[in-house]
Structure formats: structure tokens, C-alpha cells
Amino acid sequence: MAEEGLRFMNFYSSSSLCSPSRSSLLTGRYQSRTGIWPGVLPCGGLGGLPLNETTIAAQLKKVGYSTGMVGKWHLGVGLHEEYLPIKHGFDHYVGLPYSHDMCPFTICFYPNESCYGEGVPETTPCPLYEDETIVQQPADFLKLSETYSTAATGFIHEMAGKEQPFFLYMAFQHTHRPQFAGKMFTDSSIRGPFGDALNELDWQVGRIFDAINETGVSKNTFVFFTADNGPSLAREYRAGNAGPLRCGKATTYEGGMREPAIAWWPGRIKPGKTSELAATVDLFPTISKLADIPIPSDRIIDGVDMSQILFEDKMSNRESYIYYPAFPDPDVGIYAIRYREYKAHYYTKGGDYPNFYPDDMCKGSAKETRHDPPLLFNLNEDPGELNPLNVKESPYKEIVQTIDEIKAKFEATVVWGESEMNKGVTNAAKPCAKPGCTPFPQCCATS
């Protein structure tokens, strides 16, 4: 980045998995309301982000913005491709509609090194979409990052040349498993495949910032960089780590849902860091405020405007945050709540990590456990969530009472949306460049 932005130390996703976290980022609403639960949307799924939800893109189009998306969507395709980004307020789209581990794996590293694992052979090869058309199947992973960054920078140059206000949602395919990298970055890191993939992601970010600076729009452009969930920690996937935070992806521990985040706007945002509480759901109301667009009044928006953190060095409007598990159940509801520096776990459950993982609470063998009273941690002093506080004594007893009240008040507002994940899967909804071809799915290819 040309200038270092404001780094968030306490920034959260709504879920430790892809689909629900992305739906919340774009709509400002928890997945329990939008129906993007449980788990993630599958290849061939009949569900998707409901068309009556308003995304940031649709919101900005109300005031004349051009909108583009590049990268991983993972909010549904549908039987008639009715859930693609083009149907959710985006004028242009280039990308894969879901995680690339949901396809049969091909070549991942230059020149011809295969991917780790087998992927999902019964699904169609990974489709690269341009708007609503499959332009490449299977997608070429050795050139995918170049394709993405070229599409993103091309959009920026085109809009800037027209002096047209624009919104770009860039959702990198990296560093989700399987790791991949092209010619420039294969064997570029001592960190191995994960490091190679991370270097390639960094290069893509650099190209986007180059385009912003080259076109002269940096002084009038708000950039926000974050992640959709914590890292997968399974060693066989050549994955990352969550540093001092406990566990990772697929858990409601801090490693699963606290994310890196940087806000950048030269001349408007001062370089530095903040420990104020904020989350991906806050982007919808914040961007709406910046563009002077009223928040939709016909639905509950869970996000809060974080402009005062970004531009005024003031405290957050947010005092609490809700943690839903990867596979929510309306009969169970909330797993944990953060209130200021305190976090109460009403339920805990391990992730998808094998039994050789060193922390027993992160393993798949750590089944759902109810805690009454909840486990309470001071995250400022104990970000690893290792030392529960004595909730039978003051002041922690009173803190739990406050969190219980927050939980009851929030849950009283939730009407669970119909599960989009439970609408079923069919071969007819699996993206195919040659619909109706045989033998399926191998025949689904652009060449």
C-alpha cells in the first residue's frame, strides 16, 4: 500500500465458513436472517442468497455507482443461474462461483504439479464465469490470479477514465485450499505451497493499488481489506495459522472469527491501529453512510456505522458481537457473545482438525458442549481463551448477567430465514459449459 492504513485489532466475521460470512459482509445481516445456513452452499445447490436481500452493490447502484465483482462468489448459482452476482446488483462479474476445492482438482503449480488431494470428482470442473457465461472450464489455476487482477484493474481503469463512481468487490480465491500459484510464484517462498499462494495474493493486491494510484483516484477511494474467516489449520492442506488466537476455521473461538482488517483512504484515514470493536456486517451501513444512502427500513440491519472509528478517532458504536457456529441450529442459537473486552461461550465445539492437532478443543472429536454458566474470558488479557474467569464472583457475575441480557434481546429479534443450504442438490444446477452433454460431468468443458 502506498500509505499504511488503519489496522483493526478486533475485527470480526459473522461466521467461520465462507458462504454465511460473505452474505453478512454484503448485506449487513447475520446469516440466521438471510437463510445462508448451515454450512456452505454446495456445487449444484438449488439455494442461494435470496433475491430480496440488498447487497452493498445494489445499495450503491441507487445513487449511480457502477459495480463489479471479481473472484470467489460462493452465494449460490441456482438451477437457472439466478443467484449469480449479476442478479445481486453487480454490473460485471469475473470469477469462480464457489470454493475451488468443490471441483475435481487439476494442475495447481507451474508447470504441471498437481493439487494436494482429489477434490470432488463427481462435480463439474471449476467454471470461470464472465457475467452469466462460462468462458473457461476447467479454470486454469496457473493463470487465474492474472485473470482476476487483470479484470479488477481493467474495471478500475475503465471507471476512472469515465469519471464514473464505482464499487469493486474483489474476493480472492487465495488462500483457500488447495493452494495454487503460477509461474512467477511457484517455489517463491520458504513457506512452501501456502507461502507461494500468499505471495501471489500479495502481488494481486499490489496490482490493484497500482491501478488506483495510476488512475489518480486514490484521494477519492475507500479501500477495505479483510478476510471471510479464520485459517484452516489442518496440516495436510498446507494451511495457515491464527497466531496467538485459539483454534481457527469452523470454530467460534477467536481464531475462527477474528480477522485481519485494514482500512485505507489517503487524506481521510490516518495511519495507525485501533482496538475498537467492528465487524464485516458494519461495512454495509458504513458504505451507505459514505454514499449518503438511507438504510433499508423494511429489514433489520445488524451492522453499525463505523465512520467514527475510521475518520474521527472515536469509540465504536458497537459494544457487543454475536458468534454463530459453522452449522447453526435454530434450537441452539448463539454459541458465544463478546461484550467489550469479555467473551462468554454458551456452547463450544471443535473444528475439522485431525486428532494429532495439539489443542484438544480444536479437534473434530471436541463435540458440542453446553456451558451453564457460560465460560467467560477477558480477551484483552487472554486472547488465546485459555483461562476462564470465575463467574460466581464479582465483577464477572454481573458481566455475565449483562451478556445474558444482550443475548435475550438479540434472539428476540431473530426470525430464522428458510435454510438455503437445505433446498437440495441436483446435477442440473451444476455449472456446465455444455448443458445436457455426456458423459457428465467430465464433458463439461469449453474446449
- Domain ranges within the chain, ordered by starting residue: 6-429
Residue 121 CA, chain-centre distance (Å), reads 25
Q: Which residues contact 407 (CB under 8 A, 6 or more apart)?
A: 334, 337, 346
Nearest 10 degrees: Cα torsion 145, 135, 102, 436: -170
In the block, residue with C-alpha cell 500468499: 198
In the block, residue with C-alpha cell 449483562: 402
In the block, residue with C-alpha cell 477514465: 161
pLDDT at 1: 46
Tell me the Cα Rg of the chain: 21
Residue 108 appears among annotated catalytic residues:
no
Q: What is the pTM of this model?
A: 0.96
pLDDT at 237: 57
Calpha distance 118→69 (Å, rounded):
29
pLDDT at 119: 79
Listed in order, strand segments (DSSP E) in 172-319 are 223-226, 258-264, 272-279
Residue 21 CA, chain-centre distance (Å), reads 5
CA distances to 39, 206, 261, 352 from 251, rounded to whole Å, are: 12, 31, 19, 9
Q: Which amino acid is at 90?
A: F
Calpha distance 177→12 (Å, rounded):
21
The pair phi, psi for residue 167, each rounded to 5°, is: -125, 125
Residue 95 CA, chain-centre distance (Å), reads 15
Residue 133: how many other CB atoms lie within 10 Å: 11
Residue 19 · residue 36 · CB < 8 Å: yes
Question: Is the sign of the CA dihedral 261, 267, 272, 276 positive or negative?
Answer: negative
Calpha distance 368→325 (Å, rounded):
10
Residue 74 appears among annotated catalytic residues:
yes
Calpha distance 328→21 (Å, rounded):
13
CA distances to 229, 230, 255, 283 from 191, rounded to whole Å, are: 21, 18, 20, 33
pLDDT at 229: 95
Instruction: Using CB atoms within 10 Å of the CB of residue 164, give its burial: 0 to 12 exposed, 13 to 18 middle, 19+ buried.
Output: exposed
Residue 152 grid cell: 479488477
In the block, residue with C-alpha cell 456452547: 347
Calpha distance 111→109 (Å, rounded):
6
Blockwise average pLDDT, block size 10, the chain, 447 residues: 80 97 98 98 98 98 98 97 98 97 91 83 95 97 98 98 98 93 96 93 97 97 96 73 92 96 96 96 98 97 97 95 98 98 98 81 94 98 98 97 98 98 97 96 93
Residue 121: how many other CB atoms lie within 10 Å: 11
pLDDT at 232: 87
> What residues are paired with 369 via a beta bridge?
348
Residue 69 · residue 85 · CB < 8 Å: yes
> What residues are paired with 8 via a beta bridge?
261, 274
> What residues are paired with 279 via a beta bridge?
12
Residue 408 CA, chain-centre distance (Å), reads 27
> What residues are paired with 71 via a beta bridge?
171
CATH class of 6-429: alpha beta
> If we measure between CA atoms, which residue out of 182, 204, 205 comes closest to residue 193?
182
Calpha distance 283→294 (Å, rounded):
14
Q: Is the peptide bond before 330 cis (omega within 30 degrees of 0)?
A: no
> What residues are paired with 140 via a beta bridge?
none
Listed in order, strand segments (DSSP E) in 265-421 are 272-279, 320-323, 336-339, 342-348, 369-378
Residue 150: how many other CB atoms lie within 10 Å: 15
The pair phi, psi for residue 112, each rounded to 5°, is: -150, 30
Nearest 10 degrees: Cα torsion 126, 20, 230, 412: -170
Strands 92-95, 66-71: parallel, antiparallel or unpaired by DSSP?
A: parallel
